[in-house]
Structure 1
Amino acid sequence: MPIAPRVAVVIEDDADIRTLLATVLEQVGFETVLTGNGLDGIEAVRTHDPIVTTLDVSMPGIDGFETAKRIRAISSTYLIMLTARTEEIDTLQGLESGADDYVTKPFRPRELRARIEAMLRRAEATPSSGTARVPTDATRSGAAESTHPRAVAAPVPTRVVTARDVDEAARTGRVVDLSWYEHRGLRLNSDEHRVVVGSVDVELTHTEFRLLEGLMRSGRRVLSKAALAELVRSEADAFYVSEADKRAVEVHLANLRRKLGDNPVMPRFIETVRGVGYRLTSNGENSGIH
């Protein structure tokens, strides 16, 4: 059976930048679909189911923020926003709209290529047992399934790794099967790129999944905002974490908590350690761990 090509969608109204983005993406092995406005870009994402989508913020018609929201309703594509706006509030608005990453113009093609390659390495480092996407509203309603190496609709196992198991393994050096993690009814499978709360699949962006995976692997150990930022930054940029990166982590975690139905005031899954970072909530007897 032939391997399906890796597809990337470019949504950019400037023809020269569109061509440059196509060149960068093709250099890392993508077939590109080029569009010049938000509505055409949304339709291209729906039709071609890309692994990566680049999205300009300032476009005729609907802007990049609204386009990102509509894309997120139908796709879990790795979404990179590009803009000439440099204010932090614009970056945060982009992330709140569903972007995984945010690159300011003028950008260096080498930097963008490094970020995309790092994302692909992270995805390929975790083998998948299937080829269907994390369920979106579209796939739940019977739309065609994706060919991405992401989650599959497999039964949730009865034996899973809990945060307590992770803590015990760290203390004793005991080796445990790390395919499934469980914490108070929240389950994560790294191999299948799947998150389940109770019996309901939850769709997360790549960045949200990476953050949750890092927290669940760490058990009760606190991860700082800088450490969490490094989980989702490309290797080219990981040596320096800015204040904007830390704020981006806050936005991604706020989005993650909202999708999980986790109240930050009375958290069930993720708690904030003020002035330090984040960790899983307590594993006490009344926590629901089993």
Structure 2
Amino acid sequence: MSSAPVQRRAVVIEDDDDIRGLLVVVLRQLDFDVVEAPDGLAGVETVRDIQPELVTLDVNMPGIDGIEACRRIREFSDAYIVMLSARTAELDRLAGLDTGADDYLTKPFSPKELQARVRAAFRRARPAPAPAEDPRVSDENTRAAAVQQSLLPQEKVRLEEFDVAGAFRPTRSVGGDFYDWYQTPDGMHLTFADAMGKGMGAALIAATVRAVMRSVADSPDIADAFRSASATIASDLDQSGSFVTMFHGRLDSASGMLRYIDAGHGLGLHVPAQGAARRLVSAGPPVGILEDQQWPAAELQLEPGDSLVIVSDGVLDAHDSLEDFIRNVEKAARSAGTSDEVCAALLELAPAATAEDDVTAVVVRRTAGSTANGAIRH
């Protein structure tokens, strides 16, 4: 009789309570058994005691800083070490990497980017043989996949001068990806979200988020609407130990102005007709991480020929770096014709044979012609 696979362990060394709590949630979503340490000295001893496979390490801490903690850990551990710091200078990054860190992320960091980097690091190791799948789990994933598919928009929306499309390709391990849109008198509302977790639990959280976001459609202010929606789903997220990354936008089709809020998603790009693509920065953490969080709205002017591209972390996971991800997404957005074709090209960035997560993409393109009539399709 074969034994169950040993769960991977992680140590989070961070003196800020809120950031430490976020890191614990993010790593538990990757199925790590996580132990916390509030300072460098305690962290070194914790790593020595439990011998984890992964360590996240703050640089600025009381007692010994992250550089010294990393140096001491490397004397007895070959764990994968990710340094987190508000220091952005090249010398600081080099100091961390030279000391023995494997990766270096600057604060504020994207939870999705951290998860993608950890997944990429552990993909390089030989995976343990997978246990035979429990038929009950298979049945649950089948039902979850049906829920997930039902969240995609069914109605067609036609907007002058805009060509909008979405595409979704699930993996065997069902998650909480979804996108939704609907027409309004002034244009359209768009939501792109990922409920952390797998199986039916994540699918049901995603269904709740979709319903709540639609329920605040009549609220005229996007920030007020988003705050109300996040408060409504907070209890469900707390009970399930989950959180949701989300991009929610409201497009005025006459002017091309998009008002949006990015809550921890961080995978939206503005691809202008001329000039380099720009990543849209998150306005705050995912929904469900911190109580009474508020997310300020931002604006994006879509000129003729511009595109808004939003993808899931399944696309990010297929790249070795954030820079490669941005470059390839921009290339896909410029190399294809219609928004449907762009979505197909984006999904090809994460081939089905190797993708470890659902892959989702939405493209909103303002056509160059003044009489174009684009349909939203999926």
Range of TM-score over shorter length:
0.3 to 0.5
Q: Of the two structures, which has the highest relative contact order with CA contacts closer than 8 Å and spacing of 6 or more?
A: 2
More strand by proportion, 1 or 2?
A: 2
Larger radius of gyration: 2
If the length of structure 2 is used for normalisation, what is the TM-score? 0.34
